[in-house]
């Protein structure tokens, strides 16, 4: 009976997820981010309103060759798989994940955050299980959103260091260089150009540059006071606040880590009605405040 119940629950979960993505496909809405990524894929990996590293567009190039709505649909299926895989890797309740607002929003828009969330979860699991090749795959996914999970790559490499972890990122980069040429200088120029000046497109959101850089001080100076999970959350929050722009929907990255109060915080649509930057600051400072409060009461 238990196996049947689990199977029925999983079947229902996938049925609802598929029903959601099929409904907006039939209505011909959603997936607008995929259209931007498609433009980048056909333009050397660079396009207006796109700042992701071009290697991801080289990897997904076969999907971009399909008709727009077909590509969006297939990518949506990949997104559903990424959400379920995150559930299996982290143990987070699959219903809470599927119905959390960031995931609903990102599945609708066909954003890449669902993959970077999977990278967070896969990397954390790979470190615990000592699986360096899986860690390498996680690093590829984390690099999709360097302004969100880029610094977490360094933390994961330190925690799970093994030369084999560099295999997948190296292959992904070499493949993309063969595809687009040495794209790194052009990508940096494009990203910086769209993030600076009075008419910058990438400006605001969760970004608080340059003031957000100050939050690295408590992390660097007090890192011994953080648990590994607290440090992963804090590094992600500080990275977001250190950037000129981060879309508010990118709080989905926190859902790739094991369950904590931070997970519940961002399953709700708080970022639609509130400026959540103070909450990101709280994620960075809470472990330190908790330590000093405990110390003062003992």
What 3-state DSSP class applies to 204? strand
Any idea which residue has 């540059």 for tokens? Answer: 209
pLDDT of residue 214: 97
User: For 78-100, what is the mean pLDDT?
Assistant: 96
Q: What percent of the chain has pLDDT over 70?
A: 92
pLDDT tens, position by position, 247-269: 989 999 999 999 998 998 888 77
Task: Convert the pLDDT of each residue in 150-185 to its tens digit.
Answer: 999 999 999 999 999 999 999 999 999 999 999 999
User: What's residue 265's pLDDT?
Assistant: 85
Whether residue 90 is predicted with pLDDT greater than 80 in this model: the reply is: yes
Cα distance between the two ends of the chain: 50
Binned at pLDDT 50, 70 and 90, residue 6 comes out as: low
Q: Which of 5-9, 110-114, 133-137 has the lowest average pLDDT?
A: 5-9
Asked if residue 35 has pLDDT above 60, the reply is yes
Question: Which token pair is 165?
Answer: 């972890």
pLDDT at 13: 96
Please tell me whether the overall predicted TM-score, pTM, comes out greater than 0.85 for this model: yes
pLDDT tens figures, 177-192 = 999 999 999 999 998 8
Which one has a higher pLDDT value, 98 or 272? 98
- Note the pLDDT of residue 295: 64
The pLDDT assigned to 2 comes to 46
Decide if pLDDT at 195 tops 80.
no
Pairwise CA distance, residues 12 & 230, whole Å: 33
- pLDDT on residue 42: 97
Q: What sign results for the dihedral spanned by CA atoms 69, 71, 74, 75?
A: negative
CA dihedral 250, 254, 257, 263 (to 10 degrees): -140
pLDDT band at 113 (very low <50, low <70, confident <90, very high): very high
> What phi-psi label fits residue 28: left (phi over 0), alpha (psi between -120 and 50 degrees) or beta?
left
pLDDT at 274 over 60: yes
The residues spanned by each domain of the chain are: 2-296
Mean pLDDT across the chain: 92
Q: DSSP string spanning 20-55?
A: HHHHHHHTT---HHHHHHHHHHTTTT--TT--S-TH
- Checking if the pLDDT of 199 tops 70, the result is no
Minimal CA–CA distance to 238: which of 219, 222, 257, 251?
219
pLDDT value at residue 200: 59
């Amino acid at each position: 009976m238990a196996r049947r119940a689990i199977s029925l629950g999983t079947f229902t979960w996938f049925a609802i997820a598929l029903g959601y993505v099929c409904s907006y496909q039939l209505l011909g809405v959603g997936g607008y981010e995929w259209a931007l990524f498609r433009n980048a894929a056909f333009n050397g990996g660079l396009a207006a309103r796109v700042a992701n590293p071009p290697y991801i567009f080289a990897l997904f190039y076969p999907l971009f060759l399909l008709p727009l709505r077909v590509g969006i649909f297939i990518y949506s299926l990949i997104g559903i798989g990424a959400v379920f895989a995150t559930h299996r890797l982290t143990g987070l309740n699959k219903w809470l994940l599927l119905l959390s607002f960031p995931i609903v929003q990102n599945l609708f828009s066909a954003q890449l955050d669902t993959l970077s969330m999977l990278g967070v979860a896969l990397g954390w699991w790979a470190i615990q299980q000592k699986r360096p090749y899986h860690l390498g795959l996680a690093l590829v996914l984390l690099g999709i959103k360097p302004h969100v999970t880029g610094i977490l790559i360094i933390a994961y490499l330190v925690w799970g260091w093994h030369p084999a972890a560099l295999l997948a990122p190296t292959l992904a980069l070499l493949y993309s260089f063969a595809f687009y040429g040495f794209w790194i200088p052009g990508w940096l120029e494009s990203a910086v150009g769209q993030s600076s000046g009075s008419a910058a497109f990438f400006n605001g959101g969760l970004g608080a540059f340059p003031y957000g850089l100050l939050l690295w001080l408590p992390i660097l100076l007090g890192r011994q006071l953080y648990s590994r999970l607290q440090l992963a959350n804090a590094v992600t929050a500080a990275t977001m606040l250190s950037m000129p722009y981060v879309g508010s929907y990118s709080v989905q990255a926190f859902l790739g880590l094991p369950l904590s109060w931070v997970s519940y915080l961002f399953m709700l649509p708080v970022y639609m009605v509130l400026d959540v930057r103070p909450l990101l600051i709280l994620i960075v400072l809470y472990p330190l405040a908790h330590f000093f409060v405990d110390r003062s009461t003992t």
